[in-house]
Structures are given as C-alpha cells and as structure tokens.
Amino acid sequence: MSPSSSFAADLLGWYDGNGVEMPWRGAGNPYHTWLSEIMLQQTQVETVTAYFKRFLDAYPDVSTLAAAPLDDVLKLWEGLGYYSRARNLHRTAQQIISKFGGKFPHDVDSLQELPGIGRYTAGAISSIAFGARTPVVDGNAIRVLTRVEDIADDVARPATQARLWALAEAYLPQKRAGEYNQALMDLGRLICKPRKPLCETCPVRSHCKAYAHGTQLERPVKAARRATPHYDVTAGIIWNTGGELLIAQRPLDGLLGGLWEFPGGKQESGETLEECLRRELREELDIDVEVGELFTRVRHGFTHFKITLHAFTCHYRGERDSPKALGVHTWAWVTPDALDKYSFGKADRLVITELNKRPTLLL
Ligand code: SF4
C-alpha cells in the first residue's frame, strides 16, 4: 500500500465509525450537496442545519427554487449573511433548468461555469453526489494537509495553493472519493482543530510530519493580514406624515444586492454625518428630508471591512410618490409592523430591533 493510500484507508476507517450525520449527507442528491455546500461556505454546520431544512421545506428541488421569486429566496436566507450566495443560488437553479434540463452536470468544468460555484464546490458536488474522483481543498483540508506534510509556506500564495490541490488529488483514494473528502473535512473540524489539535486521538497521526516535528500549531502559515478598513455609514429612518417609513431595495448586483435597507450611504471625507445623509438621499432617491436626532449606532463587520452605521430619525414632508429610484433598485413606504416582511442585512436588522424596543420614538 502506498503512503497516500494508507493515509486514505486510515482516514476512511475513522470516518466509518465517527462520521457525523448531517441532513444533506448520504442521499447522493446533488441538489442537497450543492445547497449545503453553498450554505457552509461562510457558516457553521449547526446554523446551516436549520436553514437547510427550511430551504428544503420551501424548495424541495432545483425546479421549485428556480421558479421562486428572488425576494422570497433572500427572505429565507436572511440571517445567513453573504447574500451574494443566495442570489447565485437562485441564478444557478435557473441555469440548471434552462441549460441542463434540470439535471446537475457531473464534471467540475461544467459545474464551475455556474454562478457561485468555484473549484472547491464543484469538487464537492462532483465527488460527494456523483462519486467522481475529484479533490476538495477548503479551510479544514488546508489545515490537515499543511500539517500532515508540514508545509511551512504561506498558504495564501498561489504556488502553495497549487501544491495543496495537487496533494489533495494525490491523497484521493481510487474509490469512495466523496466519503474521503467529507472525512478530510470532518477530521479538520473535529480533530485537527486550529488551536487545539487532538493529536493523541488522531487517526492519521502516524502520517503527520508536523506531529513528528512538533510544529502543528505553526501550520498552516498565514502571512499577517493588513488592518481591516472601517467606514462610517449613515441611514435615515424616514417618517412621512402618515406614520410610514421609507425603505429602499439595494441594486440587485453588488454588496447586499437585492436586500432592503434604511436609505443612506458612506460618509465622504470632509462632510458631517448629516451632510452625508442628505447627499445620499438626494443621489439615491432625489428627496430632501429634515434630519433629526441620532436614533442609534450599530457596528457590523463584513469580510474585508467594518462599518459603523449611524441611523438618524428623519421627517419627510414631500409628496408620498416623489422619491425616484436613482441609485436604488426600488423603494417603498411601509408601516413599522410590515418591516419583517422584507429582507434586510444584519446592520439594518439591528436598527429594526432597536425600533421595536423603543416604540415611543417611532413618530
Ligand atoms: Fe492534525 Fe495532530 Fe492529526 Fe497531525 S496528528 S493531522 S496535527 S490532529
């Protein structure tokens, strides 16, 4: 038995007795694999489990998802974050219907042509749902492989990435590739943990060079990240004289695309927060408002930056139908109790939570 096949045999032996039951595992259903893999990209297994079941209840197969209105999909996704995943999910479902007759392609090249499916997800669908011998390299696999091979190079470098993909392929067994890939990811999550690897109970310890050298905690090597930028962003909680609030739907493409928000935007240098809010409302909706008190301040982190959202109570005295969708997809006047029907991002949701706590300030 070659070293790589004995590694795979040890890992699969462990997986057979310790693999974790998950609602998307075992069915060999590419729709389930795809849905779960997209959800798992930025989210923990425990959270995904509940969302996965909700999605399957609402959209039991790819055709029901493709036929659903995007707003409904975004609403169901609310709370999972990284909303481009939900938009891509919807577009991919539609393309599977229109281009592939409702059937998922088996090969990684065709899969990677679909929105939101990269090399990792294509490998996961192809191996887990169709049994193809295709590797996967996610964060867990990177940790295990860099430790097993004791790789001291920065994992963000393209050369290291290429080496990891080649290693992942070399270690793949001839059979049970899908289960092997799941085992590798489970091992990374449950045993080969980032800060406290459980080496004493690890089924592949005898193959692990980092264990032999005592360098586990130094792998994987990641170059220091630059400081995350921070932006101040304003939002208007804009009341009309009829007790309704103005909300806007963001453009469908881009950050938080298609989600609703309290209109506003990023502060530019040299302007006050109030000036920023007035400018943004003119640019996005062509309206002037009276900017009142600061209602609340909310902090939120995205992948590459952080924001502080300053939400101001505002009053609008103009015609109800005067706003124009200049920089937004569309807008609506809604009563406060109707806000829950719309999909909002996390920061705006926190503002709504505050609105619900302080109803005396609504008008
Ligand atoms: Fe990870 Fe330790 Fe197992 Fe090596 S021996 S793969 S470091 S848990």
Query: Which DSSP string do the residues of 204-266 spell out, in sequence order?
Result: TGGG-HHHHHT-GGG-SB-PPPPPPPEEEEEEEEEE-TTS-EEEEEPPSSSTTTT-EE-SEEE
User: How far is ligand 1, taken at its centre, from the CA of residue 188, in Å?
Assistant: 9
Q: Is the CB of 216 under 6 A from ligand 1?
A: yes
**pLDDT at residue 297 is higher than 90:** yes
Cα–Cα distance for residue pair 240/116, rounded to 1 Å:
40
User: How far is ligand 1, taken at its centre, from the CA of residue 226, in Å?
Assistant: 29
User: How far is ligand 1, taken at its centre, from the CA of residue 303, in Å?
Assistant: 28
Tokens found for residue 27: 């069915």
Compute the C-alpha angle 227/43/336, nearest 5°: 90
User: How far is ligand 1, taken at its centre, from the CA of residue 358, in Å?
Assistant: 51
Reported as a pLDDT band with limits 50, 70 and 90, residue 309 is very high
Compute the C-alpha angle 22/24/27, nearest 5°: 115
The pLDDT > 90 percentage for the chain reads 85
What class does CATH assign to 3-218?
mainly alpha
Q: Which atom of ligand 1 is nearest to the CA of 208?
A: 4
- Atom 7 of ligand 1, residue of closest alpha carbon: 216
**pLDDT at residue 119 is higher than 90:** yes
Q: Is the CB of 140 under 6 A from ligand 1?
A: no
User: How far is ligand 1, taken at its centre, from the CA of residue 34, in Å?
Assistant: 29
Please give the pLDDT value at position 363: 44
Among residues 159, 152, 162, 167, the alpha carbon closest in space to that of 220 is found at: 152
Among residues 71, 132, 117, the alpha carbon closest in space to that of 344 is found at: 71
Which residue is it, tokens 């003119």?
Answer: 282
Cα–Cα distance for residue pair 205/199, rounded to 1 Å:
6
Q: Which atom of ligand 1 is nearest to the CA of 216?
A: 7
Radius of gyration of the chain (CA): 24
Please give the pLDDT value at position 1: 57
Is residue 200 annotated as part of the catalytic site, yes or no?
A: no
Tokens found for residue 214: 């005592």
Q: Give yes or no on whether 3-218 and 230-362 have one common fold.
A: no
pLDDT, tens only, 237-271: 999 999 999 999 999 887 888 899 999 999 998 89
Cα–Cα distance for residue pair 280/287, rounded to 1 Å:
9
Q: Is the CB of 62 under 6 A from ligand 1?
A: no
Query: Which DSSP string do the residues of 341-353 spell out, in sequence order?
Result: GS-B-HHHHHHHH
- What's the mean pLDDT in 156-183? 95
Q: Is the CB of 147 under 6 A from ligand 1?
A: yes
**pLDDT at residue 62 is higher than 70:** yes
Among residues 157, 166, 111, 114, the alpha carbon closest in space to that of 135 is found at: 166
Please give the pLDDT value at position 20: 82
**pLDDT at residue 225 is higher than 80:** no
Q: Which atom of ligand 1 is nearest to the CA of 143?
A: 1
**CA–CA distances in Å: residue 266 to residues 31, 117, 275, 350:** 38, 31, 11, 18
Indicate the domain borders of the chain. 3-218, 230-362
Q: How far is CA 205 from the centre of its chain?
A: 32
Q: What is the pTM of this model?
A: 0.75
Reported as a pLDDT band with limits 50, 70 and 90, residue 19 is confident
Q: With 0-12 CB in 10 A as exposed, 13-18 as middle and 19+ as buried, what is 326? A: exposed
- Atom 4 of ligand 1, residue of closest alpha carbon: 208
Cα–Cα distance for residue pair 13/34, rounded to 1 Å:
26
| Contact residues for 197 (Cβ-Cβ < 8 A; gap 6+) | 147, 191, 216, 217
Strand partners, 344: 260
**pLDDT at residue 326 is higher than 60:** yes
Tokens found for residue 67: 């036929």
* Angle, helix 158-171 to helix 3-18, in steps of 10 degrees: 80
> 230-362 domain in CATH 3.90.79.10?
yes
